[in-house]
Structure 1
């Protein structure tokens, strides 16, 4: 049974929603949006983050290379070894997320790779050598229409959202090539800052400077470049059971190539669509994550999809039984953050320096 003092209330949800819009917003701005004292906002956030209920993280947008991409990897595992495999995969620096899923795939993981050759090495050297992994299947994400980074609680009203829109650094999604500066690779300073933001996306500039061994002016300039050019993704996450949206299911779908973009545009507008990707590597060319309030809503959501996007066929589906790692955070059985796991996507896939 959950400790009632740790359960998020409506004010907590509103604070999280503010940070989903502007992850590094000042408490003064959030307080203005919610008509709360900034000290109260900061105290509530400290309680949420200390309990692992909500957190802000940062990660690099690819590797500064046009050919870098996300990839979904499905692992078929020996039943007796699945948990041990999940724990080992969680530690791999290229793995963004790990989920225990229903159906034939024991684990579904999301990885960041610099190119397809790197994905091959990752599968053969990092994953293929793990005892108990029976088979792997992979899909490259060729276009991101929406991501968990974009998903929001939608508890703020129009006036509150307008206040948050006044933040000095408007958020850039940083997940599509049109929005991201891929003209130069990340240098060692960028990498140090990105890894620190992975620990805490709201880490103060003074702390970032001290940890990175840089001046505060340098950190401010570099941070502005990373955020404003979409080279780092800042994201406010929340334990799904505490958010009121505890159920995630994945759908693998197919649509004619000429229809995919228009169908994805419709899908993005539907409530509960947490992820929408165009994928390559098999018969499905669309992959969706649905978030619902309960298991009973799933059939209703799928029925609505059939009406809204009749030209899309659902080929397969699975349910997330447990989220083990989400965007660099290891989660407990309640979906709450236990610790950050560095997303050092520049590391060698076999663990060599």
Structure 2
């Protein structure tokens, strides 16, 4: 926890320079990221007030983190204004020699939210969002199926989101710091489910422009969005507020997992009786380390979980706790993320750091072929 009142100077101190050698991350960096996980577009004045740090120091810290690809804020649309919009997990089996090249090509597809190289029988696990099941079929057959080296695909539709990486936090802020951050209106981060987001009005051309620019940088200034979209700042400010407040656009702050102190992600495929699945999922949400909890269809598993842990050793302890606290759930399969290649519109390097934006475009043609590697 950063000491309250510790860093209040506009210039970098010797301590900051020493701590940040080789792009190291300290407690103040983690606190800044945690603030943006709560309020992704918060002003530096608000973040500085929460941490009792000068806003210029906070801005400088964020600039260093974002320039190094350690942390970033992204935005994405939550469907096309249709209740049947579909989030799906796609498992790809690939020839070993082609796996990395295939991952690079899939990363460029605008409907792909994340790409992970995983252990077990599946080579790559891909998360996609499309407008409906027919669109998903075209995407699987014509976009993914056209890539040389893809042997088989298997898909699971996400029918309910209980918890998403959008909600996951570092939890390094104390209660007083969180209270300051929550003074501002809290953005909705429960997208991807039609019962949580207001999807009654389709996205028009202006909504799409604003959303795609937020995909490049979720903290892009209103003035920059206005200039690039050819709109007035008042229009951008109004549309941005409407999109975020309604849950039709989700903003989230991500961090390279090794730098966050939570480097290990594992996926669990689980089953609970239909009558119990909602209660089981709500119990899971309360457990530390649960990054994702989805209800899925397309096979025997009806729950899919992502566990985030500090180490491989801790993983077995978390699974033991799951068995003790959620006995009505059976784990059917598991895999470990060996490398994250793309996460929510950002291409990542081997260290999990962002190297460039690949904005998510839910309006793109699903039959477009991905660029050759």
TM-score, normalized by length of structure 1? 0.98
1:208 matches 2:225 = yes
Aligned residue number for residue 8 of structure 1: 25
Correspondences of 1:207-226 after superposition (within 5 Å): 207-226=224-243
3-state DSSP of counterpart to 1:296? helix
Q: CA deviation at 1:172?
A: 4.3
How many Å separate the matches in 2 of 1:174 and 1:282?
24
Correspondences of 1:86-235 after superposition (within 5 Å): 86-235=103-252
How many Å separate the matches in 2 of 1:250 and 1:4?
34
1:295-353 CA distance string (max 9 Å, x none): 0011100000000100100000000000000000000011000000021111111128x
How many Å separate the matches in 2 of 1:72 and 1:349?
16
3-state DSSP of counterpart to 1:100? strand
Aligned residue number for residue 289 of structure 2: 272
Residues 172 and 228 of structure 1 are in contact (CA less than 8 Å); yes or no, is this contact kept in structure 2?
Answer: no
In the comparison of the two structures, how many residue pairs are matched? 351
Worse-matched range after superposition: 184-193 or 49-58: 184-193
Aligned residue number for residue 9 of structure 2: none
How many Å separate the matches in 2 of 1:293 and 1:341?
28
Residues 87 and 192 of structure 2 are in contact (CA less than 8 Å); yes or no, is this contact kept in structure 1?
Answer: no
3-state DSSP of counterpart to 1:235? strand
Q: CA deviation at 1:179?
A: 2.4
User: Of the candidates 59, 62, 84, which is equivalent to residue 79 of structure 2?
Assistant: 62
Aligned residue number for residue 272 of structure 2: 255
For structure 1, list consecutive stretches of 5 or more residues without a partner in the other structure.
none
Residues 22 and 171 of structure 1 are in contact (CA less than 8 Å); yes or no, is this contact kept in structure 2?
Answer: no
Residues 157 and 298 of structure 2 are in contact (CA less than 8 Å); yes or no, is this contact kept in structure 1?
Answer: yes
1:304 matches 2:312 = no
Aligned residue number for residue 337 of structure 2: 320
1:143-188 CA distance string (max 9 Å, x none): 0000000000000000000000011454443343232111111111
How many Å separate the matches in 2 of 1:244 and 1:326?
17
How many Å separate the matches in 2 of 1:176 and 1:18?
25
3-state DSSP of counterpart to 2:214? helix
Aligned residue number for residue 60 of structure 2: 43
How many Å separate the matches in 2 of 1:168 and 1:116?
35
Runs of 4+ more than 3 Å apart: 168-172
1:249-308 CA distance string (max 9 Å, x none): 000000001111111111001010000000000000000000000000111000000001
How many Å separate the matches in 1 of 2:219 and 2:351?
23
How many Å separate the matches in 1 of 2:190 and 2:97?
40
For structure 2, list consecutive stretches of 5 or more residues without a partner in the other structure.
1-19
Aligned residue number for residue 72 of structure 1: 89
TM-score, normalized by length of structure 2? 0.92
How many Å separate the matches in 1 of 2:186 and 2:91?
37
Residues 174 and 229 of structure 1 are in contact (CA less than 8 Å); yes or no, is this contact kept in structure 2?
Answer: no
Aligned residue number for residue 285 of structure 1: 302
Residues 21 and 171 of structure 1 are in contact (CA less than 8 Å); yes or no, is this contact kept in structure 2?
Answer: no
1:334 matches 2:351 = yes
